[in-house]
Copies of this chain bind each other. A is one copy, B any other.
């Protein structure tokens, strides 16, 4: 399959950022050409799309989410994190059974497509179900271990690591991870260390998300969450932390030394009143920041434009300085840093030989007009209604508001609704 996009503005995300005018060609799942329109085109294409001077750019990388939690969207809002987690989320999750997660994850994947997200870093139990949902919809996913003292064991994680990193689809990979220090025991963390050593693999976890987590860790271990995890050697091969709100200067040194990625999830942090991540400190220190939506239970949307806008503007508010965290920094976090955090090194920028994970931003909408600065428009004025196309691995999965999938979207909604209603009834008993 050979595809030609003509008459395009193209933001490859190579530094320094610039918009080039020209063409982008795709063959099967890879980009084969980016540049000016050649004067003489001898190639034959299966399809030519006139981009009408809209913008092609790399898809956004949702570097932290829990896709299968769609059944908890708007189920339990307006509660503090630890109440929400212990009294509602955990009991409701315990009622998931069979292949529920497969159907629930699909709803979130549809939402990613509408938001220009071409890959997600998904932390949830039964990762093989979420991986299968992604594959069946043609979406790229990096599943992540979710070890806790209650559910997923280190052994199960290692098994998933081997299985999902050799998935035949070319759309799936897997990384080591545990839910959080407050749901892990010392034994589990020590087993995790052994697994990381054996696989020479990075480890990811929820990190320093709330003041309570920070204070409890200080009290129990006499160390910050970051220092505690590092003291166990868990980041010997790198990895990252999700949220990263409560960190000290010494924590930043650890992150830098270990080559960690911090994934910020500002909507969730604002809505659950967890706090504002110190993005400017990460930037100063050179700790790469990526962006995630968190799951639909806390957020409640999976709207990457909301997250990008907040990563910039919350820092402005926090420091009462409108000049910090420029839109261009955020574009880099949303694409390149996200891809690298997930170890998707072939899906970071648009370039010959890279995956054709490409989105088209519609500039012919009132929120983008008149045009003064396209890059700032994306971050400050953009919305998911500007996503005209989402292509993953060379396949157009979403175009002009329609999904192009192997299955009926309304059937996906129906399945998810039935599961949600069953759990609601069981929860009310």
A residues within 8 Å of B by Cβ? Answer: 70-75, 77-81, 84, 107-108, 110-111, 114, 267, 269-273, 275-276, 296, 299-303, 306, 309, 312-314, 316-317, 319-324, 326-327, 364-367, 369-373, 376-377, 380-385, 401, 409-410, 413, 416-417, 419-421, 424
Residues from chain B with a CB closer than 8 A to the CB of A322 are 77-81, 84, 271-273
How many copies of this protein are present in the complex?
2
Other contacts beyond A107-B369, A114-B385, A372-B424: 11, CB < 8 A: A73-B370, A73-B372, A84-B322, A108-B366, A114-B367, A267-B313, A272-B316, A275-B317, A300-B376, A303-B367, A366-B413
Considering the chains assembled together, what is the distance between the CA atoms of A327 and B314 in angstroms? 21
Contact B74 A380 (CB under 8 A): yes
Contact B270 A317 (CB under 8 A): yes
Contact B377 A413 (CB under 8 A): no
Contact A79 B417 (CB under 8 A): no
Considering the chains assembled together, what is the distance between the CA atoms of A276 and B273 in angstroms? 14
Given contacts A74-B373, A78-B326, A111-B367, contact A383 B383 (CB under 8 A): yes
Given contacts A370-B107, A380-B271, contact A365 B114 (CB under 8 A): yes
Considering the chains assembled together, what is the distance between the CA atoms of A73 and B77 in angstroms? 34
Contact A367 B302 (CB under 8 A): yes
Q: With CB as the reference atom, state the residue of chain B lying closest to A276.
A: B317
Q: How far is the CB of A153 from chain B (nearest CB, A)?
A: 30
Q: How far is the CB of A385 from chain B (nearest CB, A)?
A: 4
Q: How far is the CB of A246 from chain B (nearest CB, A)?
A: 12
